[in-house]
Amino acid sequence: MAQTIRIKRSTGSSAPSSLANAELAYSEGVAGGGTLYIGVGTGGAGGSATSVVAIGGPSTYATKTYVDSAVAAVDVSSQLANYLPLTGGTISSNLTVSGNLTVSGTTTTLNSTTLAIADKNIELAKVASPTDTTADGAGLTVKGSSDHTWNWVDATDAWTSSEHVDLASGKSFYINGTSVLSSSTLGSGVTASSLTSVGTISSGAWQGTAVAVAYGGTGAATLTGLVKGNGTSAFTAAVAGTDYLSPSSDVDGGSYP
């Protein structure tokens, strides 16, 4: 014959009025149905337990009252050091976030020595509806005796640096894939400029407009034979018999300038 273990039954909607120490009771009432109780402690009237505690059933663990306060205090205090409170705090060791991290504060401060970022692109001035106006002033600022900046300036539609740009040896400035300036050469693609002075030109061929007499030139595009000048006007070809005596000229008493 099978043996059956029975637990004391309470048909009401609340805890049984009394139980012996370690005695169990099960409530079947509609409101408190499905709750398991146990008698705790000895010394009650007539040898009953000093209290009746719910140990199972709906909402039992959310509202349980039987907790050893000494054990709870030690357990809670020992665990608090392992958790960061919602009000904020300091993490003294390493922190790894395997998911996304969103910071919604006003200022984010990094005091690390080295910042290593795997992303190939850093987005600045990212707002809901970005424009050149919202991007105005965005860039980098290096703090020194004064701010050293590299910023986007909307008014000039250009990246603007507050400092010199010093390229390493052997490097050049390029525009659309073509070198325009190096430490020693002006790029071949530069076909016009507004230079007002140059150093000594030691070689090359002049293929521009005629250089005026006032600037040390002839002022003429082509010349044949002897040339003559008369002040600031362009040089002209001299005329034989008029401007000079040629081997074929006749001396007949006339005069020559």
Q: Which two tokens stand for residue 109?
A: 């401060």
Closest among 235, 240, 205, 212 to 222, alpha carbons compared: 235
* Sequence-distant (≥ 6) Cβ neighbours of residue 185 within 8 angstroms: 172, 179
| Cα 165 off chain centre by | 21
Q: Are strands 24-27 and 8-10 parallel, antiparallel or unpaired?
A: parallel
What is the C-alpha end-to-end distance of the chain, expressed in Å? 159
Walk along the chain (257 residues) and give the pLDDT tens digit of each residue: 567 777 777 666 677 888 888 888 888 765 556 788 888 888 777 778 888 888 887 656 544 455 555 555 556 666 666 778 888 888 888 889 999 999 988 999 998 899 999 999 999 999 999 999 999 999 999 999 999 999 999 999 999 999 999 999 999 999 999 999 999 898 888 888 888 888 888 888 888 888 888 887 887 878 777 788 877 888 888 877 777 777 666 666 655 55
> How many residues can be counted in the chain?
257
Question: How high is the pLDDT of residue 189?
Answer: 86
Q: Which residue has the tokens 């009000």?
A: 87
Contact 19, 47 (CB under 8 A): no
E strand residue ranges, the chain:
8-10, 24-27, 35-40, 51-56, 139-143, 147-153, 158-161, 173-175, 178-181, 227-228, 236-237
Q: What are phi and psi of 147, to 5 degrees?
A: -75, 130
Q: What is the pTM of this model?
A: 0.53
Question: How high is the pLDDT of residue 43?
Answer: 76
Q: What is the DSSP letter of 210?
A: P
Question: How high is the pLDDT of residue 210?
Answer: 87
Q: Which residue has the tokens 């400035």?
A: 173
C-alpha torsion sign, points 113, 117, 121, 126 = negative
| Ordered alpha helix ranges (H), the chain | 60-63, 69-80, 132-135
CA distance 170 to 183: 8
Question: How high is the pLDDT of residue 142?
Answer: 96
Question: How high is the pLDDT of residue 115?
Answer: 92
Question: How high is the pLDDT of residue 54?
Answer: 84
Question: How high is the pLDDT of residue 170?
Answer: 94
Report pLDDT digits (tens) over 203-241: 888 888 888 888 878 878 787 777 888 778 888 888 777
Closest among 220, 244, 243 to 232, alpha carbons compared: 220
Three-state DSSP at 79 gives: helix
